[in-house]
Amino acid sequence: MQRLMGIETEYGIMVEGLGANDWVSESIALVKCHPGAGVSGWNYRGEDARRDMRGFTVQNLSTNPDDAQFDRPSAPVMSREEERSDRVLANGARLYNDHGHPEYATPECLSLRDLVAQDKAGERIMLASARKRAEARGLAVSLTKNNTDFHGASYGTHENYLMSRSVPTDLLIQALLPFFATRALYAGAGKCGVENEAGRRNPNTFQLSQRADFLSVEASVDTLHNRPLVNTRDEPHAAPTRYRRLHVICGDANMSEHACALKVGTTSLVLRLLEAGLQPSIRLVNPVQSARTVSRDLTFKEPLERVGGPAVTAIEVQRTYLDEAVRRFQGEDEETDWVLAGWTSVLDELGSDYTTLSDRLDWAAKYQLLDGFRRDENLAWGDLAMQSLDLAYHDIDPDQSLYYGLEQAGQMRRFVTDARVGAAVSCPPADTRAALRGLFVQRYGAAVRRIGWNGIAFEFQGEDLLFDMNTLVEANLAEYVGEMVGAGDLEQVVAVIRRTRAADEAGEKLTGFGEDGPTALGEKE
Amino acid sequence: MTQAIRVEERRQVPGGPIEPTRKPGDGDGPAAPKVDRPDTSDLLKRMKRVDPDAARRYRQRSGE
């Protein structure tokens, strides 16, 4: 896709005999049980989640008041570093505790296949950590890759897309609202019942989306409470004058590789349309309500009220983006064509027989699997037993998971091979700056003082250096990575960085690397 | 410095599922889970094994 992309997933955690007031300490312990190589000391340089891309910084982010019931008054006060317990892994990923959830953030990827493989590798890394923790604790530990506890608490699966900062913020928001409000047609993970709604009209509904019940505003910097369809956090993790990182929080965690690839691929293409100057042709009167309507409509024909025109269906909204993307991008490369073909066939099949989609979309697979059981057992969609099966679909243990039961029975289409996922557990993508992060973890971990998305601070010959990676985001870095990997030791690595910087300053843009080379730590922070 | 790094052994190739040159489970990190391949009747058994009360106990803190 030739865009830097990543996925962060907060997993649900359960430990036999324990409760939600234990999840912070248990998540920290689980992260520390990670069995592979890793380096601690996250580099928070340039991070401020309160900064809004609309040009202001909020005083505080909203938090969910319900969480106070889970706070132990006797809990030890921890520093941010202790609470997060970050580990940067050999594949360039980040593993840490986030608000009582073990979280895995993939390394930056340029291709969909790399990204899906890295997302699936995250499940294996989490599972191995959970098994090690279970062994140490003597208690069963399970992890769920979903977004709801069915008691009103939600946790996120966030997508990240590096994009040009030239797209005006208001245009970005207006163009994404109809797209995100309807994307659950193929990106939704499916959900039994309804939550977080006073006076539920029909709790016994099967929904396309896990997350729609938890979206309450159109655009906001908040993520923990009062969640928006379009998150406006302004943390580029790259040169801030040139790039924006679109942080998407309205999506679901996908078990299906195909659905995950389609979700990210379509969104990346929509961003390309905006970068090319496209003006959105549809505005919905109430995008947030529309997202809920779409999530609860298995006819796919519910009209969505539109500004300045007749009502439209979710399929029609999606087709406006698809048609433009086909017109502009078809034939560019194989992954783009895969996305366009998959997007087209999904919208076509939703209009005829959606049961054919159960081999590739999570919601359709879950619906098909659970509906027969529900009928045989005379259960309603909102029953606890159905929600228990829903949770089991998202269990990441292949011996227990209903999703993996389907996959092992050959009923789910694959997008990557097991071998590719296995390789991604310890290998970063070879063509992004994640490979440089992985290089430092694998070879020079003892020298690393701080490590993050956009920089690595390390000690070399008694001096503190910062390898600034803010500009290493645009080009395919395979050649540069090859040179760094070929360096025999840290001295040669530093020499490569210094030489590249000098070449860039002389006007030879070799890698897009040039604004900051290694320098005394502190000068650039 | 002789320690190996494996990033150069995988390259992005668009198209269908691709076999990387590395074998799964090589080197650091956990290996692929080894599971038997059930047929659909195994799937039904798996569903029947799910504790119908599991969702009542499943409580989480709010995340992002």
User: If you write DSSP's letter for every residue of A81-111 in order, what string do you get?
Assistant: HHHH--EEETTS-EEEEETTEEEEEPPPBSS
**Contact (CB, 8 A) for A423 and A77:** no
DSSP category for residue A521? T
Asked if residue A154 has pLDDT above 90, the reply is yes
Give kind and range of the element (H or E) at residue A268: helix A257-275
User: What pLDDT is attached to residue A75?
Assistant: 81
Beta bridge mates, A154: A148
Q: What whole-number distance in Å separates Cα of residue A99 and Cα of residue A110?
A: 29
Interhelix angle A257-275/A334-350, nearest 10 degrees: 110
H helical segments located in A378-460: 384-393, 402-408, 418-424, 434-443
From A20, A63, A388, residue closest to B53, measured CB to CB: A388
User: What pLDDT is attached to residue A509?
Assistant: 55
pLDDT in tens, A54-89: 999 999 999 988 888 898 888 888 999 999 999 999
- The answer to whether A372 contacts chain B (CB < 8 Å) is no
User: What pLDDT is attached to residue A229?
Assistant: 98
Partner B, chain A 253-312, Cβ-Cβ below 8 Å: none
Give A318 to chain B, closest Cα distance, Å: 25
Asked if residue A144 has pLDDT above 80, the reply is yes
Q: Which residue of A has its CA nearest to B50?
A: A389
- Say whether A71 is catalytic: no
User: What pLDDT is attached to residue B14?
Assistant: 35
Between B20 and A222, the higher pLDDT residue: A222
- The answer to whether A399 contacts chain B (CB < 8 Å) is yes
Q: What whole-number distance in Å separates Cα of residue A483 and Cα of residue A299?
A: 55
Residues of A in contact with B45 (CB under 8 A): none
User: If you write DSSP's letter for every residue of A33-59 in order, what string do you get?
Assistant: T--S-EE--B--TT--TTEETTTEE-S
User: What pLDDT is attached to residue A72?
Assistant: 82
User: What pLDDT is attached to residue B5?
Assistant: 44
Contact B18 A333 (CB under 8 A): no
Contact A420 B64 (CB under 8 A): no
Average pLDDT on A324-342 reads: 97
Q: Which of A48, A52, A71, A98 is catalytic?
A: A98
Listed as ranges, residues in chain B with pLDDT below 70 are 1-39
Which of A101, A149, A210, A480 would best serve as a mutation to test chain B binding (most B beta carbons within 10 A)?
A149
Lowest mean pLDDT among A18-22, A61-65, A290-294: A61-65
User: What pLDDT is attached to residue A399?
Assistant: 97
From B1, B14, B27, residue closest to A426, measured CB to CB: B27
Contact A155 B60 (CB under 8 A): yes
CA dihedral A133, A136, A140, A146 (to 10 degrees): -10
Going by pLDDT thresholds of 50, 70 and 90, the confidence category of residue A515 is: very low
Give A381 to chain B, closest Cα distance, Å: 13
How far from B35 is each of A400, A409, A499, B22, B24, CA to CA, in Å? Answer: 10, 12, 49, 21, 14
- The residue with tokens 């027969």 is A372
Q: Which tokens sit at A133?
A: 């923790």
User: What pLDDT is attached to residue A183?
Assistant: 98
Average pLDDT on A329-340 reads: 97
Contact A488 B1 (CB under 8 A): yes
- Gyration radius of chain A over CA positions: 23
Contact A485 B7 (CB under 8 A): yes
User: What pLDDT is attached to residue A522?
Assistant: 32
User: What is chain A's mean pLDDT, rounded?
Assistant: 94
Give B45 to chain A, closest Cα distance, Å: 10
Q: What whole-number distance in Å separates Cα of residue A26 and Cα of residue A36?
A: 19
Q: What whole-number distance in Å separates Cα of residue A142 and Cα of residue B57?
A: 13
Q: What share of chain B is helix, strand, coil (3-state, %, to 5)?
A: 25, 0, 75
**Contact (CB, 8 A) for B63 and A98:** yes
Interhelix angle A112-137/A23-32, nearest 10 degrees: 110
Average pLDDT on A96-113 reads: 98
Residues of A in contact with B16 (CB under 8 A): none
Q: Which residue of B has its CA nearest to A379?
A: B52
Q: How far is CA A104 from the centre of its chain?
A: 9
Residues of B in contact with A481 (CB under 8 A): 7-8
Q: Which residue of B has its CA nearest to A258?
A: B17
User: What pLDDT is attached to residue A231?
Assistant: 98
Beta bridge mates, A39: A88
Between A65 and A221, the higher pLDDT residue: A221
**Contact (CB, 8 A) for B35 and A407:** no
From B15, B56, B60, residue closest to A153, measured CB to CB: B60
Contact A422 B24 (CB under 8 A): yes
Question: What is residue A5's three-state secondary structure?
Answer: strand
Contact A485 B8 (CB under 8 A): yes
- The answer to whether A47 contacts chain B (CB < 8 Å) is no
Going by pLDDT thresholds of 50, 70 and 90, the confidence category of residue A8 is: very high
Selection from A445, A444, A423 nearest residue A491 by Cα: A444
Going by pLDDT thresholds of 50, 70 and 90, the confidence category of residue A196 is: confident
pLDDT in tens, A453-510: 999 999 999 999 999 999 999 878 999 999 999 999 999 999 999 998 887 777 655 5
Residues of B in contact with A398 (CB under 8 A): 33, 35
Q: What whole-number distance in Å separates Cα of residue A266 and Cα of residue A44?
A: 30
Average pLDDT on A163-177 reads: 97
- The residue with tokens 């995100």 is A180
- The answer to whether A20 contacts chain B (CB < 8 Å) is yes
Residues ≥6 apart with Cβ < 8 Å to A243:
A162, A163, A164, A165, A236, A473
User: What pLDDT is attached to residue A506?
Assistant: 72
**Contact (CB, 8 A) for A417 and B17:** yes
User: What pLDDT is attached to residue B40?
Assistant: 72
Q: What whole-number distance in Å separates Cα of residue A160 and Cα of residue A8?
A: 8
How many inter-chain contacts (A to B, CB under 8 Å) are there? 235
Partner B, chain A 428-487, Cβ-Cβ below 8 Å: 428-431, 435, 438-439, 442-443, 478, 481-482, 485
Q: What whole-number distance in Å separates Cα of residue A147 and Cα of residue A93?
A: 21
Beta bridge mates, A339: none
User: What pLDDT is attached to residue A71?
Assistant: 87
Question: What is residue A466's three-state secondary structure?
Answer: strand
Sheet holding A38-39, edge to edge: A38-39, A87-89, A94-98, A101-105, A5-10, A157-164, A243-248
From B5, B26, B61, residue closest to A20, measured CB to CB: B61
User: What pLDDT is attached to residue A430?
Assistant: 96
Contact B47 A389 (CB under 8 A): yes
